Amino acid sequence: MLRHIARRLGSLHGQIQFSNGLKGVSPNQLLSKETHRHLQSSLETISPISMMSLWPFSSQPRDFSQPNSSWSPEMRKVYDHYIALCDTDSENGEKQRGPWRKLPSYNRSIKYATAGIHLSKLIQAKARLFTRNVKEQGATFEYVVFVNKEEKRCVCVFQAGHLLEGAPGHVHGGAIATIIDTVTGSLAGFLSGPIMTANLNIDYRSPMPLGSVVLIHSALDRIERKKTYITCKVTSTDESKLYTEATALFVSIGVGHLFGSRN
């Protein structure tokens, strides 16, 4: 979808087509008053396709949710487990269906978009997604989100780096809230299109040591008009230990603000 929006920015004609259900949005619908903190979550749900020439940045965006040398064997093992359950291209070129799909994860959102209205160009140029703002691999958030469309749920594998400290040796409650917001928002965006977080309610059950690899399980509770309710729990990779439980509420929004609309 980042590429669809890139296409829109490159040429303000035609319709945007969101692969997550929002199809054929009219220009009027695009120009809503609302802003949207979680748009990039839903933006992340689109797999790379064509239109790269209209990508507004100087180079192809990097998917940061790929294995790297900072990943522990435990992180890699869970990743490999879910990757094996994703869609694959077989040798004869046919697509084989799998129940899971890996979402890509970039380190920034769209340049000169909402930001153009009220932010300096310096801030816009330097802005980076909070969860991907440290270059050192393994230092902060290493994570991959897999979504299961049929079951309306997703699983995130998360390895917590040494720069996420709260109390000595343990992950900061805010870092846990951040990954929960990110993962539940990705699922809500995947299911409901552009959304923003309205509520997070987080119960911290057990402290999480730095360096832990955990699973963040998110599932759709219900959708009521513009409201999407998601449940979430954070467990050890064998699911024997519960670290955190949460509920999240997201509200559907328009996307006009991205294009500079104040109307």
| Secondary element (H or E) of residue 248 | strand 242-252
- Give yes or no for residue 61 binding a copy of itself (CB under 8 A): no
The distance of closest approach from Cβ of residue 124 to a copy of itself in the complex, given in angstroms and rounded to an integer, is: 7
Query: Catalytic one among 181, 203, 221, 238?
Result: 181
How many residues belong to the site for a copy of itself (CB under 8 A)?
64
Looking at residues 122 to 181 of the shown chain, list those that interact with a copy of itself (rule: CB under 8 A): 123-124, 126-131, 133-134, 139-140, 162-175, 177-181
3-state secondary structure at position 249: strand
Contact 25/15 with Cβ under 8 angstroms? yes
| CA neighbor of 232 nearest in space, from 253, 252, 247 | 247
Q: What is the spatial distance between Cα 129 and Cα 107, in angstroms, rounded to a whole number? A: 5
Contact 17/23 with Cβ under 8 angstroms? yes
Contact 114/123 with Cβ under 8 angstroms? no
- Give yes or no for residue 232 binding a copy of itself (CB under 8 A): no
When binding is defined by CB under 8 A, the residue of 196, 213, 220, 230 that contacts a copy of itself is 196
Contact 71/144 with Cβ under 8 angstroms? no
181 catalytic, yes or no? yes
The distance of closest approach from Cβ of residue 83 to a copy of itself in the complex, given in angstroms and rounded to an integer, is: 26
Q: How many CB atoms lie within 10 A of CB 92?
A: 5
Candidate ranges 64-72, 92-100, 143-151, 203-211; the one touching a copy of itself (CB under 8 A):
203-211
Structure tokens at 146: 């897999």
- Give yes or no for residue 119 binding a copy of itself (CB under 8 A): yes
Give the residue with the Cβ less far from a copy of itself, 39 or 46.
Answer: 39
The distance of closest approach from Cβ of residue 133 to a copy of itself in the complex, given in angstroms and rounded to an integer, is: 4
* Single-letter amino acid code for the residue at 115: A
Candidate ranges 73-81, 112-120, 217-225, 227-235; the one touching a copy of itself (CB under 8 A):
112-120
Contact 242/221 with Cβ under 8 angstroms? no
Whole-number Cα distances in Å, 7 to 3, 107, 133, 192: 6, 19, 26, 22
The distance of closest approach from Cβ of residue 15 to a copy of itself in the complex, given in angstroms and rounded to an integer, is: 20
Binding site for a copy of itself (CB under 8 A): 35-40, 108-110, 113-120, 123-124, 126-131, 133-134, 139-140, 162-175, 177-182, 185, 196-204, 207, 209-211, 258
**Active-site residue set:** 181
